[in-house]
Structure 1
Amino acid sequence: MSRRIGSVPYLNSVPLTRGIEDETEFVVPSKLADLLRAGELDAALLSVTEVLFNEGYDVLDGVAVASRGTVKSVFLAHRQPLDAIEVIHCDTASLTSVNLLRVLLAERGLQPKLEPLVDYSQASILPNVLLIGNPGIEFLRAPHAHSIWDLGQAWDTLTGLPFVYAIWALRRGRHDNALREKLRAAKADGLAHLEQTIAEYTDFDPDFRRAYLGDHIRYDLGKEEKAGLARFIELLRQHGNQPVYVPTYV
């Protein structure tokens, strides 16, 4: 079967691909962007900044990976006070998380150097690390000596709005109603069978999976989420030096 769809191998995306797993390629967000740009996929669950920084994509309306308040899987683990940090090593699998961190720090008047985290095994040793997804959850649940700055909560404190981490990006001119409806149906099926997903998924314990998927992650892309995205665009333009494009929802 030709795989026209790409998603990420993280717990938070599992409800969005229920029933379409066999036609979905699962790779980290940065690799998904490469595949979509190369025309090897027609739709991919991308980090939202890939769409904001590049033209040529449409965004599937109504579906996202978002949070309001604590998200648990996107955070800065730090041993130094925020205003004393000079270097942060960042998981570059999601440029959205890196840019969210940059914006949140800039709003505090802080501009530490952001370096790539080249080896997850170093996360517990380095003083300041940005972690995301399943590796972040694993770090959080293991013994560590870091303070945790949850970026979902930090965004909520700053703006009072949800934050959108990922969306279904569609190659403009390469998608049709059948593909769009397939993705919407997968979300509806995933949310309708959330308890089954929690039971079937093997990473982490069931209580954590239930709290994470049921309380911390949101899957709608509605009025509030779009307002949060619009605010993120404003701050990216304010604190960045590259064009930022307004999404086209379809």
Structure 2
Amino acid sequence: MSKLHLGQVDYLNCLPVYYALEEGLSPLDVKLIKGPPTQLNRLFLSGELDITPISSIEYARNKEKCIILPHMSISSDGRVESILLFSRLPVTELDGKKVCVTSSSATSVVLLKVLFEHYYHVDVEFITTEPDLDEMLTRADAALLIGDDAMLAHHRVLQEKLPLTVSDLGEAWKLLTGERMVYALWVIRREFAAAYPEEVSRIAKLLYASKLIGLDSMPAIIGKAKRRCPLPIAVLEDYFLNVIKHEFSDEYQHALLTFYNYAYKSGVIEDRVQLEIWSEDLE
């Protein structure tokens, strides 16, 4: 069997899962392929990745091609700090306006559409662009950014006291539904799982173990994040210790199904979704 190709979202939010792999602390021997969520989605669906974090909305659209690995997600319980809408107007005054959305994301764009329809009650025109706040705001009245781009832009808004309203989509989702929000899942190709079930169990255990190592190595992860991204230590500590989650317990699964139900109501997906999770007990 050739070396497996494992996708890695090239944002800070994946560091707790991949820290052990990057530092040689895990025996999982894979080739890491880094990129933004939409690129990893595309590589996985074209068969160029065997395992990857996939945008949760893309699982709903392509569930016949993959199986979810247990105990793994990119999630938040309320504010997420890295999925932000920057707007010149209060969000409820954006009706009929243009909104630029980042080309880097799939789930966040759908979440924004759901929130516009069911929470803010505005109808807007969406424009997909590269993630550059200044350029986006020359073309529209609001801009959606995710990941490190969102965090750096928010820091700049605060430092420069820019006249923008910043809305956290995780927080808005919590206010709408009372639920957590699951932005990405780790999945493995269905045909690989059918051919090599013992290998899938081994991989699932090692990825989970890698996550646990990361969660126990927060000072080192925060230090690594600081070397990668010029955000204040206090911001990084808050993000890793209080904000970003990587769980996929029953509560997170229920929250994800709630998101799928809203996406279905908004016409974003054609059918209601059931989750198919690899059943290996990793605890």
Question: TM range, normalised to the smaller chain?
Answer: over 0.9
* Alignment partner of 1:163 is 2:177: no
Amino acid at match of 1:155: W
Q: Structure 1 length as normaliser, TM-score?
A: 0.94
Q: Aligned-pair distance for 1:200?
A: 2.3
Amino acid at match of 2:182: V
Distance 2:251 2:244 in 1: 14
Q: Aligned-pair distance for 1:124?
A: 5.2
Cα RMSD (Å): 1.7
Alignment CA distance shift 1:241-1:48 (3 Å):
closer
- Structure 1: segments with no counterpart, 5+ residues: none
Match of 1:139 among 139, 142, 153: 153
Q: Structure 2 length as normaliser, TM-score?
A: 0.83
Within a 5 Å distance, the mapping from 1:95-114 to structure 2 comes to 95-108=106-119, 109-114=121-126
Larger helix percent: 2
Within a 5 Å distance, the mapping from 1:1-250 to structure 2 comes to 2-21=3-22, 23-54=31-62, 55-85=64-94, 86-108=97-119, 109-118=121-130, 120=132, 121-123=134-136, 125=138, 126-142=140-156, 143=160, 144-175=162-193, 176-201=200-225, 202=227, 203=229, 204-244=231-271, 245-250=273-278
- SS of 2:20 mapped into structure 1: coil
Count of residues in correspondence between the two structures: 250
Distance 1:10 1:180 in 2: 22
Q: Aligned-pair distance for 1:3?
A: 5.0
Distance 1:59 1:48 in 2: 10
Structure 1 segments (4+ residues) deviating >6 Å = none
Q: What percent identity do the matched residue pairs reach? A: 26
- SS of 1:77 mapped into structure 2: strand
Higher relative contact order (CA 8 A, sep 6+): 1
Which of 1 and 2 has greater Rg? 2
- Structure 2: segments with no counterpart, 5+ residues: 23-29, 194-199, 279-283
Amino acid at match of 2:83: V
- SS of 1:166 mapped into structure 2: strand
